Amino acid sequence: MQALVAERTRELHESQAFYRMLTEDAEDVHWRMDRDFIVTYISPADERLRGFRADEVVGRSLFELLTEEASDLVRELLNPGTLDDPSSGTTGFRKFEMQQRCKDGTLIWGEVMVKSDRNNQGEIVGHHGITRNVTERKRLEEQVRQLAFHDPPHPPGQPPSAAGPSGPGHGSQQAQPQP
């Protein structure tokens, strides 16, 4: 019997070490919160990403840590009425993007994947998920959008029309062939 207990204890320690490695060494933030959106676990990646130590986050309401717009989005997407409605198609993970506040006051963009935790009766008892920093991707997407809707750069000393067409609807003229 003691050998079985020792073996199970060893397996438990190995399992704990494995999951600790997965969450502590990851760049993505792993987290868990209760049904009232109180953070019950946050991985060390949050300190690297947003500057908050785990003891500054655990026990706090998620909404204290978000912008007003992000709080509204979370309330809408994780509304128990919506999540409980089978026709809403919200089984499994939900994925969305939102801005989050860092400890120094700056804002970052996070891609959030969240899943509701349910008890045996199917009631929501909490949520868990992963947040990934997508700030750089959002910045690059905005640059592409800006380039798509503005005149292309032109050489110094030349008017924009000399640089070539500036896109549809911008009144650019195509060069006409000479006779």
CATH number at residue 62: 3.30.450.20
Q: Residue 26's Cα: distance from chain center in Å?
A: 14
* Residue 166: inside a domain: no
* Residue 149: inside a domain: no
Q: How confident is the model at residue 8 (pLDDT cuts 50, 70, 90)?
A: confident
* Residue 34: inside a domain: yes
Tracing tokens 């891609």 back to the chain, one arrives at: 111
Domain range holding 74? 23-141
pLDDT above 80 for 153: no
pTM: 0.68
* Residue 164: inside a domain: no
Order the strands of the 124-133 sheet from edge to edge: 39-42, 29-34, 124-133, 107-118, 94-101
Angstrom distance (rounded) from CA 55 to CA 47: 10
Higher pLDDT, 56 or 17: 56
Tell me the mean pLDDT in the region 124-146: 93
Average confidence score pLDDT of the chain: 81
Least confident of 34-43, 70-79, 94-103, 150-159: 150-159
* Residue 171: inside a domain: no
Positive or negative CA dihedral for 149, 96, 16, 60?
Answer: positive
Tell me the mean pLDDT in the region 154-163: 60
Number of domains into which the chain is organized: 1
* Residue 15: inside a domain: no
* Residue 76: inside a domain: yes
* Residue 151: inside a domain: no
Q: How confident is the model at residue 16 (pLDDT cuts 50, 70, 90)?
A: low
